[in-house]
Chain A
Amino acid sequence: EIVLTQSPGTLSLSPGERATLSCRASQSISNSYLAWYQQKPGQAPRLLIYGASNRATGTPDRFSGSGSGTDFTLTISRLEPEDFAVYYCQQYVDSPRTFGQGTKLEIK
């Protein structure tokens, strides 16, 4: 099973600042089958990034993903008020599909 470890657990920033979220895998994720999801309270997760760096339809361009192998990053260039939420990484190369434990992005 591929274990995904996200850091930090909580990130406190102000609107307009840059956010950098990390996801580390216990083994290499082939084909960069790594996705990022955003989840707001009471809602289902929303796909933001797939294939480590491809924005899903409707994802604003202030969101970018990078990385390969075992280290991946989600960057939000300039935080908007609606970006404060919980973010999960997920690998979809192997079964069981696994998620990171999440990073909560909160307003400072």
Chain B
Amino acid sequence: QVQLVQSGVEVKNPGASVKVSCKASGYIFADYYIHWMRQAPGQGLEWMGWITPSSGVIGYAQKFQGRVTMTRDTSINTAYMEVSSLTSDDTAVYFCARGSASTGGGSLPFNYWGQGTLVTVSS
């Protein structure tokens, strides 16, 4: 069965960076986009960007350009999302989700999600 398993809780100081991982199983990792979202405490879902595991092509939400880096390691079926220059506003649960097939076939919703990774930024 398709699973996305994320790394654990992180506590960071302001100004630091954090890197969250998302390990995929149960399907061919290279064949589907991975998207990243975040959810601040008590708030809604905010889309951050996507990565194509097969080629490494990335698309970021404009808000996160320059401060977020998405990468992947196809040898271990894992996607990564790094946020730099953290502030308290970055305190949130970060989610990865599987999106559309990179081979085509139309756009797909997010049918599979990671469990979420809580990142707390505090001095």
A contacts, CB < 8 Å to B:
31, 33, 35, 37, 39, 44-47, 50, 56, 88, 90, 92-93, 95-102
Q: How large is the interface on B (under 10, 10 to 19, 20 to 34, 35 or more residues)?
A: 20 to 34
Asked if B46 contacts A90 (CB within 8 A), the reply is: no
Asked if A45 contacts B47 (CB within 8 A), the reply is: no
Q: How far is the CA of A39 from the CA of B110 in the complex (A)?
A: 13
Partner pick for A96 among B44, B47, B99, CB 8 A cutoff? B47
**Chain A residues within 8 Å of B108, by CB:** 50, 92
Asked if A47 contacts B109 (CB within 8 A), the reply is: yes
Asked if B109 contacts A35 (CB within 8 A), the reply is: yes
**Chain B residues within 8 Å of A45, by CB:** 45, 95, 110, 113
**Chain A residues within 8 Å of B110, by CB:** 35, 37, 45, 47, 90, 92
Asked if B113 contacts A44 (CB within 8 A), the reply is: yes
Q: How far is the CA of A53 from the CA of B100 in the complex (A)?
A: 18
* Closest residue on chain B to residue A34 by CB atoms: B109
**Most chain A CB inside 10 Å of its own CB: which residue of B37, B45, B62, B99:** B45
Q: How far is the CA of A91 from the CA of B84 in the complex (A)?
A: 28
Partner pick for A98 among B47, B95, B100, CB 8 A cutoff? B47
**Chain A residues within 8 Å of B46, by CB:** 99
Q: How far is the CA of A31 from the CA of B45 in the complex (A)?
A: 23
Partner pick for B47 among A46, A50, A99, CB 8 A cutoff? A99
Asked if A95 contacts B59 (CB within 8 A), the reply is: yes
A-B contact pairs, 13 of them (CB 8 A): A33-B107, A44-B116, A45-B45, A47-B111, A50-B109, A88-B44, A92-B99, A95-B50, A96-B61, A96-B62, A97-B50, A97-B99, A99-B44
Asked if B45 contacts A93 (CB within 8 A), the reply is: no
Asked if B109 contacts A93 (CB within 8 A), the reply is: no
